[in-house]
């Protein structure tokens, strides 16, 4: 990606002046055939990414059904294909609905925001797991980086800094999704606690 950006800057000088800078670079370097090849590559990449995301999301829902985190209906496999039909359909409907009701820009921002939150969460968890409180639960590290807490701390700080640039509607949508997930988790944990007490 970095190389593509450098080439675009080298060829176009101001890529932001073009609606599709990479297509313009391909047209200037290789003509209409290069532009068609770039478009075909982009389509193949997008389809491959979407199919892998659908596979991952559906298997996650299936596993959550198996462990009891979702209704058992999600853990059932098709007798004919031995695949989790309901999780596949659920993932496809959610993804299709989001694609049909949002712009590409909004979905790209949502995707980036989600990844940023996951990254910040992993950095924060790394800081927590380094405390002595988890010595009994976590095996001793085989390798400890010098200044080990510096990088996760910077990761959290940079993530927070990047989050300051998002709009109120993005914040609302993200908080809504996080709230639904947290509410479900709390309800599920309370249900399991009650069952273990009986």
Q: What is the pLDDT of residues 47-70, one digit of tens each?
A: 898 889 888 999 999 999 998 888
Q: How far apart are the C-alpha atoms of 158 and 111, rounded to whole Å? A: 17
Dihedral angle computed from the Cα positions of residues 56, 162, 121 and 143, in that order, rounded to the nearest 10 degrees: 100
Residue 40 has a pLDDT of 93
Counts for the chain of helices (H) and strands (E), in that order: 6, 0
Residue 124 has a pLDDT of 93
Which pLDDT band holds residue 1 (cuts at 50, 70, 90)? Answer: low
Residue 194 has a pLDDT of 86
Residue 81 has a pLDDT of 92
pLDDT in tens, 72-121: 999 999 999 999 999 999 999 988 898 899 887 888 788 888 888 889 99
- Higher-confidence residue of 57 and 135: namely 57
Q: How far apart are the C-alpha atoms of 25 and 15, rounded to whole Å? A: 9
Give the percent of the chain with pLDDT over 70.
Answer: 99
Please say if the pLDDT value at position 5 is more than 80: no
Q: How far apart are the C-alpha atoms of 6 and 73, rounded to whole Å? A: 50
> What is the pLDDT of the chain when averaged over all its residues?
86
* Region 36-45 average pLDDT: 91
Answer yes or no: pTM beyond 0.75.
no
Residue 61 has a pLDDT of 93
Please say if the pLDDT value at position 15 is more than 70: yes
**Contact by Cβ (8 Å): 102, 112:** no
* Region 14-39 average pLDDT: 88
């Amino acid at each position: 990606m970095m190389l593509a950006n450098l080439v675009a800057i080298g060829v176009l000088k101001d890529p932001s002046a073009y609606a599709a800078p990479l297509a313009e670079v391909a047209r200037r370097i290789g003509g209409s055939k290069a532009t068609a090849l770039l478009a075909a590559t982009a389509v193949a990449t997008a389809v491959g990414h979407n199919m892998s995301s659908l596979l991952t999301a559906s298997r996650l829902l299936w596993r959550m059904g198996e462990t009891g985190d979702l209704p058992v209906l999600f853990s059932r496999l098709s007798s004919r294909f031995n695949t989790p039909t309901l999780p596949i359909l659920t993932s496809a409907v959610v993804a299709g609905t989001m694609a049909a009701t949002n712009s590409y820009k909004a979905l790209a921002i949502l995707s980036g925001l989600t990844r940023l939150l996951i990254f910040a969460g992993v950095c924060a968890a790394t800081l927590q797991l380094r405390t002595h409180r988890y010595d009994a639960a976590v095996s001793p590290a085989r390798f400890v980086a010098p200044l080990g807490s510096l990088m996760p701390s910077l990761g959290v700080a940079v993530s927070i800094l990047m989050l300051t640039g998002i709009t109120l509607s993005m914040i609302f949508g993200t908080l809504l999704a996080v709230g639904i997930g947290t509410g479900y988790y709390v309800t599920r944990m309370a249900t399991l606690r009650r069952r273990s007490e009986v």
